[in-house]
Structure 1
Amino acid sequence: MASRWLFEDGIGERRAALVDGGSIVEAMVERDDDGPVVGSILPARLHQVLQPGRRAIAILDGGVEALLEPVPARITEGMAFVAEVVREALPEAGALKRARVRMAPDDAALGPGPDLFARLSSSPHPVQPTRHHDSDLLEAAGWGEVLDAARTGDLDFDGGRLRISPTPAMTLIDVDGDGDLAALAIAGAAASAAAIRRLGIGGSIGIDLPTAGRKDARLAAAEAIDRLLPQPFERTAVNGFGFVQIVRPRARASLIERVREDPAVSAALALLRRAERTPGAGPLHLTATPGVLGRIRERGWSGLLARRVGAEVVLHPDPGRPIWVGDVHRQPL
């Protein structure tokens, strides 16, 4: 079957996966509480110049702070202007990296940028919307495994394992395994490229491959990256210690950053997704740690779930559970 996007409009978030040969090659989510997306044209005010001509803090419509880069000479602190979002806000450990904007063209019309479905619709691949009462095509393609990889950073491949660690400076991928080092380096480079694409990792990325030593193995590892990772990106050669650096555009958060930004929210959304697809009669019972159920209650998601499935939703807090271990129960038909 030809590549296609599966799109799901879920409670609290929209999900999408590019499926090729029955497996997910790209995965994305868009949440209800996301800030302004790339391409949004918004009223703004210059709040504080940090580096004249280069960087300033702007206040967007709604009070959101963003970085203005570059700073046109004709605007000064306190002046109003129209901003275009070129990078969305990015979650980082303990902080939120501000969105980046530039001054919009004079003829730009105010309005939000394209949402996830609009971006998918402009891609070369067809889009297939799915609903909660349809067959779970996303899960059949490996959605759960992709979320697990984003949550843990661990990803197995034939002969080895990747460990993915995001840091404020760059995302690091460590390749480990047994057997012939040259073969492991080539396989690890291919698995790393596939993971970068699947999880939407951008910015600076460092891959630590086994030290293969031989030049032909290093070249083959680099060629595997070039073959599997779509442009645009830049990379270094694989050096004698097995390290290669890749730089990709970073317009929005990766799936890893999304899942880890607020683990309780991510666990709640995953539980709600399962709950929507649980058949049966009578009330729908959700059991999870109080933090997860608190997110569901605070955001009104239990009411949305009840309307979607046409049944009462009952929440059962269990303080002894790990955050990602939740249960859904309903009387069988």
Structure 2
Amino acid sequence: MPEWLIERGIGETRALRVDGARVLAAKLSWPDEPGTGVVQAKLIRRPAGATRGLARTADGLEINVSGLPKDASEGREITVAITRAPMAEKGRLKRAQGHHFAEGSKAGPPPNHLLGKEVHRFPAGLWEDVWADAWDGEIAFAGGSLIASVTPAMTLIDIDGDLPPRDLALAAAPAVADTVRRLDIAGSIGIDFPTLPDKAQRRAVDTALGEALDDWPHERTAMNGFGFVQLVARLEGPSLLHRLHFNRTSAAARMLLRRGELAEGIGPRLLLSAHPAILDRIEPAWLAELAKRSGRRVETTRDPALALHAGQAQVLAS
């Protein structure tokens, strides 16, 4: 039976929903970032007569709040249920979104809370494959590939391959469904299928995509004459694709620490070799935690020739 596995890493918590050796879905949480959940905040701005306003928590998190009661005035402490975490984008930060949390309402999970069976480490290769897909934004399937990219308006998925347009679109439909789950993509998603002038062919692709997404809550448009389909799903925070696109050094630094934890060999020293930008992003507390978990003295070496994602971990015998 499919189950969620949780791996508590250094600087992040990872979750995979697996069925045997297959990854069905994935999630990633960084504890130093706010997530969804119920928080206390001060209402700092509310236009006259509006049911929406701006609140700020004690640690400075700003939240666009809806559903404000009539007696919620500026300067008052209110309870807010965050429904979407803040999201960094090119040149800006999207504020967190939430709604007024009335007394007696059922509380949701605390921020950044992932549920599942905790394991020391995932089965070999599973997280690495998901991470590589999110890092590259290119996912291969039989007959073609998906190119996924993040824009301020939506996540775009482009389909490319050598098959005839109808066959390529039908082969891509289950790959699209698999990708949105594995990379935790939500919000507005645009899919650029090959152009199919024939309405019957477009309906066949719509049917295939609907069947592949049957258990994934969403709304979907029918394919238009240019091959474009839009999906809309509830967005609670950044996807893996979004995190690794806008926070590349942070993501690569955490992956390097994971490689350090998994490094095998006999010796008292653990050497991390990485691009200087990656080592600059690693906090001293993270290195101390890695030393504790590995039972070795951790050393680092800066190598500008290494790509950001190509950091290495090696156990040294002396």
TM range (shorter): over 0.9
In structure 2, do the counterparts of structure 1 residues 319 and 166 end up closer, same or farther at CA, with 3 Å as the change threshold?
A: same
Distance 1:8 1:224 in 2: 34
Check conservation: 1:190, 1:221, Cα contact below 8 A. Answer: no
* Mapping 1:140-289, distance limit 5 Å: 140=125, 142-229=126-213, 230-280=215-265, 281-289=267-275
In structure 2, do the counterparts of structure 1 residues 19 and 203 end up closer, same or farther at CA, with 3 Å as the change threshold?
A: same
Aligned partner of 1:22 in structure 2 is: 21
Unpaired stretches in structure 2, ≥5 consecutive residues = none
Distance 2:49 2:212 in 1: 41
Distance 2:59 2:254 in 1: 26
1:56-88 C-alpha deviation (Å, 9 max, x unpaired): 211123221111123333222222222121221
1:150-192 C-alpha deviation (Å, 9 max, x unpaired): 1121111111111111111111111011122101011122211
In structure 2, do the counterparts of structure 1 residues 211 and 3 end up closer, same or farther at CA, with 3 Å as the change threshold?
A: same
Check conservation: 1:186, 1:218, Cα contact below 8 A. Answer: no
- 1:131 matched to 2:130: no
Aligned partner of 1:101 in structure 2 is: 98
In structure 2, do the counterparts of structure 1 residues 153 and 50 end up closer, same or farther at CA, with 3 Å as the change threshold?
A: farther
Aligned partner of 1:124 in structure 2 is: none
Aligned length: 316
Aligned sequence identity (%): 38
Check conservation: 1:187, 1:221, Cα contact below 8 A. Answer: no
In structure 2, do the counterparts of structure 1 residues 247 and 272 end up closer, same or farther at CA, with 3 Å as the change threshold?
A: same
- Provide the TM-score with structure 2 as the length reference: 0.92
Aligned partner of 2:89 in structure 1 is: 92
Aligned partner of 1:83 in structure 2 is: 80
Check conservation: 1:43, 1:110, Cα contact below 8 A. Answer: no
Check conservation: 2:173, 2:212, Cα contact below 8 A. Answer: no
In structure 2, do the counterparts of structure 1 residues 314 and 48 end up closer, same or farther at CA, with 3 Å as the change threshold?
A: same
Aligned partner of 2:46 in structure 1 is: 49
Distance 1:156 1:111 in 2: 37
Aligned partner of 2:7 in structure 1 is: 8
| DSSP 3-state at the match of 1:169 | coil
Question: For structure 1, which segment, 233-242 or 18-27, has the greater mean C-alpha deviation from structure 2 after superposition?
Answer: 18-27
Give how far 1:308 is off.
0.4
Give how far 1:107 is off.
2.3
1:9-48 C-alpha deviation (Å, 9 max, x unpaired): 111111111112421111111112121x3232x2211112
Distance 2:108 2:145 in 1: 44
Check conservation: 2:269, 2:317, Cα contact below 8 A. Answer: no
Check conservation: 1:84, 1:103, Cα contact below 8 A. Answer: yes
Aligned partner of 2:60 in structure 1 is: 63
Match of 1:285, as an amino acid?
A: L
Q: What is the RMSD of the two structures over their aligned residues, measured on CA atoms? A: 2.1
- 1:38 matched to 2:36: yes
1:202-240 C-alpha deviation (Å, 9 max, x unpaired): 111110100122323212211222222233211111112
In structure 2, do the counterparts of structure 1 residues 27 and 78 end up closer, same or farther at CA, with 3 Å as the change threshold?
A: same
Check conservation: 1:170, 1:205, Cα contact below 8 A. Answer: yes
State the 4+ residue runs in structure 1 displaced beyond 3 angstroms.
108-112, 114-117
- Provide the TM-score with structure 1 as the length reference: 0.88
